[in-house]
Chain A
C-alpha cells in the first residue's frame, strides 16, 4: 500500500498542520505563526499547490490615512464646524462671518451647504431682506466625518476600510469628496486555503508515528536493518557552503594557454637563465654599448658580478667587430661581461641560435624579464614575456604577419593590424595592434621583426630569422578585464577563490 505522507517534506507537513487549524490565512501570517523562514514558507506553498493540496487566492484590501488637508481640518476644525463656532460667537450674517476670520472666503459656500445638510444651521429672513443664521441643537454633536477624522488622528496610522463601522464607512465616502482629506492605498495579498484533499491528509498525518530514519549508517547496511527503514526527506534546496578548491594561478593558466598555442604551431620550448652577461642581452643584438637602455636607469645590473667565460672567443670576436663597424666606436669587453637581469627573453632565443646554428627551427621561450622602471598601473619591474623565433631557408615578412594572426586568433583575438616600428636588432620591424572591444580602441600588443644580418651572421646563421614577443600580463589583463597590472600579483584570495576557470 502506498502511504502518501512520508513523501511529504517536513516543511509541507508543518504548513498543512497549521492550515488545518485556520484554513484561510495569508502567507505573512503563516510566516509569523510558524517556525519557518519566508523562503521556506514560499517554497512549501508552491509544492503543496503543485500537489493540489492547497490553493491560493489573490486578495485586495484598502487602507486609509489622513491626508494633508484632513490633518489641518482636525486642528482647525472642519469648515462647517467653524461656521457654527462663528455663529455662536455672534456672527450671524454672511457678511459678518466673512469679516470674522473664522472662515476664508472660498470656504463659505461649502461650509453653509454642509452645515445645512447636517442640520446644524437655520435661516431666518430679516425684515430688511438679510439672512440671519441660527445654530441648532444638533450642531453640538460631532458629525460622523469629524468622528472618523478624530479616530484617524488618535490612531496615528492607517485603517483598513473593511474594518470600518457602517457609520465610519459613510463618513469615509463623504470625506473622499473633499480634496486631500483622505489618502487611500491598495494592498494585494495571497490567502491560502486548504483543499479537501489536503484536509484528508492532515488526518492521516496526526496518526503517523515519527519513525523515519535521518541517516543511513554502516550498521544499518551491514545488519540488514535498512530493509525496514524509511528515510525522512531533506530540504534539498537549503544553502550549503562552498569549498575552497586547489587551483593554478590565473596567470599560469594564460602561460599554459600560450604554450599550447606554440606547441600546436610546431614550436619547441626552450629555457634560459634570468641572469646573463650583457653580451647576450645587448651586444649580440646589435645594441650599441652607449645605448640609453643599457644604463642603470633602465637595466638592472647585478652588484659585483661579472662573467669571465660568457661566450666562445670566436663569437666575441665576430660580435665585437660588427659592433665597432656598425656603431663607429670602440667596443669594451668589460661592459659585455657585466651580469644583468635580462630585459627581454630574446636573449634566450638568440643564445639557442648561437649554440645550435639550426638551418630550420621554431622555438619559443616564456619567462621573467626585468626593467628598472617605476611601478605603475601599467608597468611592472618584473613581468613575463614570450618570444618566438622561426628560421628557415625561405621565410618572409608576410609569413611573420601570418604567424602573428594565427597566434592571436587562437587566443581569441580576431581583429589585428600591423604598423611599422623600430628595434635595434630587427629590420623590418612591426608592432601588432589589436582591437580592445571593452575600450573601443586599438592597443599595442607586441613587437616583431626579422633579425638584422648584424645579429645573425656573427653567430653563423645564414637563413632569415623571424622573431616576435609579447607581454603575458598584457594578455592576462585583457582576458580577465583588469585595469591595473599589479592586481595579477596581489594574490588576493577573494579574487583567486572566485575567478571562474573558464574565461572564454
Chain B
C-alpha cells in the first residue's frame, strides 16, 4: 500500500494550533493507517481507491472536513482561458498514446518539501491508477521556459534531445535501450514505429512519455509557474489524474488556468472539473448502515466528508454533489460509506441480528474429523504442511520420477513453492527429517489436499501416515491402517501386491476397499530414508479419503 510522508512541520503549517494527538486519533477514522511516527514525520498509508491522498494536501483536506474546520465541497477556481495556452495534437499519436490533457498553475511557491510531496504524488499516481505508466504518465514542467503552443506528436527513433538530469542529447533508440527509465518502461511502446513527444514552439522537448521528461523544463524551488501535461492510453485515467493534480495545486496556493487541447477531431478545455450528481434515497442509506438519521444530518455527514447534497422535491431523495477528483464515488453505496465516515465509525453501536437459521456441518468435514480422531486414538501425532512444495522434496529426494504433467505454478518467487503435491508421503518424510534429534518412536499423520491432472486438475483429500523407529515395519502400518478403516467406517480392507518407487520393492501393497484401490502402503526405501537424512527405518501409508467417501 502506498505511503505518504507527512512532515509534522507541514501539519502545523496547514493546521495551525492543531493538537497532534487529536490528529492521530482521527486519521484511522478517515481510512488512513499510521505506519510510523517520529519527531519529524508521520508515515501514513492510504488505500488505492483514494489517489487524492497521495500528497499531504489531500490528507489535510479530509482532516479539515472530519474535524469540522472546513466542510463541504473544497473550493476550486480555474480561470477559463481560451486559446492562450494550447496543445496541438497530431493525429499520429493515436496509434501509440492517444490522449493528452493539461493544466496551468501560476504564482505558486515551491519549497523543497512541496516539491518532494509533488514528486511522491506523481510516482504514486503513475504507478497506481496510471498502472505503472501504461494508462497515464505525468509531466510537471517549468512554464516560464515554454513557448506555447505546445505540440503533442510523434518522431522516429533517431530523434534526439537532452533528457532530464543529462547534459548531452540522446537519441530515442538509445534512451530506450540504455537508460534506467528506458529499460523499465520501454515495453509500453513495444511495436510502435514512431514515438510520442511533447515539444514547444522553440523545439524544446518537454517530455518523451512515458519514458522521461526533457531537461529544459525541469522545476526547482525558483519555479513559480507550472505546466502540467498528462498523456496516456485511457482518457478517463488521464482526466482523473489531472483532476487530482488540479485540486492539489490549488490547495498548494497556485492560481489555475485551463489549457486548450486542439485534437484533430475537435477542441477540449482541460481540466474539466465539473461536479457530478448522484440522486440518493436517504432511506436506502439508513437501511444499509442501520441508522435512523434525519435528512439534514445525513447532509451534514456528507459535508464532513467534503461532499455536499441538496434536498429535492421528494423529501427522501437528496441530490449528492461529487467533486471531480473523487473518482472512488460510483453509486449509493459509496455515498453511504461517506455518510458513515462523516457520522464517525466510532459512533456506530453494534447490533446482533437474530436468525432462525441453524448451523450445519459440512459432510466432508465430518468424515475428515472422524478419520482424524481415530488416528489420534491410535497414538498418531498430526502435522500440517503446505500444498505448494518444491520438486526436490516431492520427487528428487524420495526417488520418484516427475510425472509428465504436474500441477505447477508460474513465476513463483521461491523454489520451495513450485508444484502442487500429488501425494503427502514426501512431506511427511521431510517433517521426519526435521526431527531427527527428537525421541523415537515418531508416529506422524497429515490430512491434506492432493492435486492430479485429469481432464482438469482434480483435488482430493488424502491421509498420509508414517512411523519411524528402530522396529518400524509393514506389519505396524498395516495394523494402523486397517484399524483406522474398521473403527472409522466399519470397512474391511485387503492389500494386494503393488509397487511404487518410494517403497522397498516387494514390500509395497495397494489398499483395496470394496473393489477400488484407494491407497498405498509399505516400507520406505532406504534411498529415500538416506536422502532425507533419517537414521531409522520408516513405514508409511497413504489413503485417498475423497475416493473412500464416495462409496
Contacts and interface: CB of A to CB of B under 8 A. Distances in A.
Contact of A382 (B31, B381, B386, B434): B386
A491 B384 contact: yes
Interface residues of A, number: 88
B353 A326 contact: no
Interface stretch (B83-91, B198-206, B257-265, B406-414): B406-414
Given A381-B416, A399-B351, 17 more contacts: A259-B365, A266-B359, A268-B357, A274-B459, A300-B410, A381-B388, A381-B413, A381-B417, A382-B417, A396-B287, A397-B348, A398-B289, A402-B353, A404-B350, A418-B348, A427-B337, A491-B435
Interface of B: 28-31, 33, 47-50, 131, 135, 234, 236, 287-291, 330-331, 333-334, 336-337, 340-341, 345-346, 348-353, 355, 357-362, 364-365, 369, 372, 375-388, 407-414, 416-417, 431, 434-435, 438-439, 441-444, 449, 451, 456-457, 459
A301 interface: yes
Nearest to B409: A300
A494 interface: yes
Interface stretch (A64-72, A185-193, A387-395): A387-395
A290 B128 CA distance: 11
16 contacts: A246-B382, A249-B384, A252-B372, A263-B359, A264-B359, A269-B361, A303-B408, A303-B409, A368-B387, A368-B449, A382-B387, A398-B289, A422-B49, A450-B333, A453-B333, A489-B385
A11 to B, nearest CB: 30
B357 A362 contact: yes
B409 A374 contact: no
B47 A421 contact: yes
A339 interface: yes
A417 B346 contact: yes
Prevailing SS type, chain B contact patch: loop
Given A296-B410, A464-B288, A420 B31 contact: yes
A297 interface: yes
Contact of B451 (A275, A362, A401, A453): A275
Nearest to A402: B350
A398 B350 contact: yes
Contacts of B414: 374-375, 381
Interface in A416-466: 417-422, 424, 427-430, 450, 452-454, 464
A406 B414 CA distance: 39
Given A341-B409, A370-B388, A374-B414, A395 B234 contact: no
Contacts of B341: 420
B49 A297 contact: no
B387 A274 contact: yes
Nearest to A417: B346
A328 B233 CA distance: 12
B388 A422 contact: no
* List of 4 A-B pairs having minimum Cβ-Cβ separation, nearest first: A396-B290, A398-B290, A263-B359, A422-B47
Contacts of A248: 372, 376, 382
B443 to A, nearest CB: 8
Contact of B456 (A307, A399, A404, A419): A307
A247 to B, nearest CB: 5
A317 interface: no
A392 B288 CA distance: 12
Interface in A323-382: 326, 328-329, 339, 341, 360-362, 368, 370, 372-375, 381-382
A375 B456 CA distance: 29
Contact of A491 (B353, B385, B451): B385
A455 to B, nearest CB: 10
B352 A428 contact: no
Interface in A285-308: 290, 292, 296-297, 300-303, 305, 307
A390 B353 contact: yes
Contacts of B336: 427-428
Contacts of A47: none
B359 A246 contact: no
A307 B455 CA distance: 10
Contacts of B379: 244-246
Given A362-B359, A395-B353, A493-B438, A249 B408 contact: no
A262 interface: yes
B431 A491 contact: yes
B484 to A, nearest CB: 12
A402 B354 CA distance: 11
Given A370-B388, A422-B49, A296 B289 contact: no
A130 interface: no
B382 A249 contact: yes
B409 A302 contact: yes
Interface of A: 244-249, 251-252, 256, 259, 262-271, 273-275, 290, 292, 296-297, 300-303, 305, 307, 326, 328-329, 339, 341, 360-362, 368, 370, 372-375, 381-382, 390, 392, 394-399, 401-406, 417-422, 424, 427-430, 450, 452-454, 464, 488-494, 496-497
Contacts of A494: 438
B280 to A, nearest CB: 13
B350 A401 contact: yes
A120 to B, nearest CB: 73
B31 to A, nearest CB: 4
B368 to A, nearest CB: 10
B54 to A, nearest CB: 14
Contacts of B289: 396-398, 428
Given A368-B449, A489-B384, A491-B385, A428 B290 contact: no
A211 B330 CA distance: 95
Contact of B330 (A326, A362, A429): A326
A329 B237 CA distance: 11
Q: Which of B361, B380, B382, B385 has the most CB of A within 10 A?
A: B382
A491 B445 CA distance: 11
Nearest to B337: A428
B172 to A, nearest CB: 27
A367 to B, nearest CB: 9
A493 B359 contact: no
Nearest to B411: A296
A238 B385 CA distance: 39
B63 to A, nearest CB: 14
Nearest to A273: B459
A290 B234 CA distance: 12
A360 B416 CA distance: 43
A305 B409 CA distance: 10
A419 B29 contact: yes
A258 B490 CA distance: 30
A290 B408 contact: no
B435 A493 contact: yes
Contacts of B439: 244
B211 to A, nearest CB: 20
Contacts of A292: 131
A300 B435 CA distance: 31
A255 to B, nearest CB: 10
Nearest to B346: A417
Contacts of A390: 353
Contact of B348 (A251, A262, A398, A496): A398
A448 B150 CA distance: 49
Given A274-B459, A496-B383, A372 B287 contact: no
Given A245-B379, A274-B449, A302-B409, A450 B288 contact: yes
A266 B355 contact: yes
Contact of A246 (B340, B375, B384, B385): B375
A303 B334 contact: no
Contacts of B409: 300-303, 341, 372
Contact of B410 (A268, A301, A430): A301
B434 A244 contact: no
B137 to A, nearest CB: 15
A452 B411 CA distance: 32
